[in-house]
Structure formats: C-alpha cells, structure tokens
C-alpha cells in the first residue's frame, strides 16, 4: 500500500524567504507524485506533478519540486514567498500507470508573514 508523509503540519515563513515543504512517500515502485494547493474555502488545485522524465518539475506560481528516488522524497520549494502563497499544500501519490486513487498526505499549512 502507498502512503505519504508530510513533515510539518504548519510552516511559517517571512515574505521573500525560501519556502520548503517536505513530502516523503512509501511505495513498492516509484509512483506518480503530485502537489496540490487549497486556498481557504476552495477545492484543491494542481500545482505540479511528476510522472516521468526530468526529475525537477516546475509548476504554477513559481513552485518546483524534485523527485529523488533514493530518498523517496518529492519536496516542494519556492525561492521567494509571497503573501498570496498562504494556503494548505497537499502531497499526493498514485499508482504508476493509473489515473485514479490519489493518496494524500495530511497537508501542510503555509503561513507567510509580512
């Protein structure tokens, strides 16, 4: 069975600082990996995904993530935080070759301080 661990339920950064949200997965084979963002009172929106190819993937709003198979990690980063980045971020995995059954982490709430 697949599982996702997001280290830190709450991360607080200053505006302009580096954002680093951690995600580790457990899977018998490398899965497909996703980061979703949820703004208050809204549904989830895809930030970026890794399925195949280049292990450093770029997403919307300046975010990027790197798939590291040896570390079973898919950490999300952004060089400079903006106030509008304040939201909850979810890492998710799905079985390779499938288009279904996302397993989500518990989420990390990002706060950006002025």
Partner 1 sequence: DAGVIQSPRHEVTEMGQEVTLRCKPISGHDYLFWYRQTMMRGLELLIYFNNNVPIDDSGMPEDRFSAKMPNASFSTLKIQPSEPRDSAVYFCASSLTSGSYEQFFGPGTRLTVL
Residue 102 tokens read as 């996302």
Q: Does 103 bind partner 1 (CB under 8 A)?
A: yes
Which single residue is written with the structure tokens 């570390």?
71
Q: What DSSP string describes 47-101? A: EEEESSS-SEEE-GGG-EEEEEGGGTEEEEEESS--GGG-EEEEEEEE-TT-S--
Q: Does 108 bind partner 1 (CB under 8 A)?
A: no
Query: What mask of x and - would describe binding to partner 1 in positions 50 to 89, judged by CB under 8 A?
Result: -x--------------------------------------
* CA distance linking residue 84 with residue 13, whole number of Å: 12
Q: Across the strands, what pairs with 56?
A: 66
Q: How far is the CB of 16 from partner 1 (least distance, A)?
A: 30
Q: Does 21 bind partner 1 (CB under 8 A)?
A: no
Q: Does 5 bind partner 1 (CB under 8 A)?
A: no
Q: Which residues bind partner 1 (CB under 8 A)?
A: 32, 34, 36, 41-46, 49, 51, 90, 94, 99-107
């Amino acid at each position: 069975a697949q599982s996702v661990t997001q280290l830190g339920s709450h991360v607080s950064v200053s505006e302009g600082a580096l954002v680093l949200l951690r995600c580790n997965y457990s899977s018998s084979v490398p899965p497909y990996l996703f980061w979703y963002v949820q703004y208050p009172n809204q549904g989830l929106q895809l930030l970026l995904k890794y399925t195949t190819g280049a292990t450093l993937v770029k997403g919307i709003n300046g975010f990027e993530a790197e798939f590291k198979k040896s570390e079973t990690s898919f950490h999300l980063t952004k060089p400079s935080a903006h106030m509008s980045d304040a939201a909850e971020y979810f890492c998710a995995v799905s079985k390779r070759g499938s288009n279904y059954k996302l397993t989500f982490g518990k989420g990390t709430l990002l706060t950006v301080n002025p």
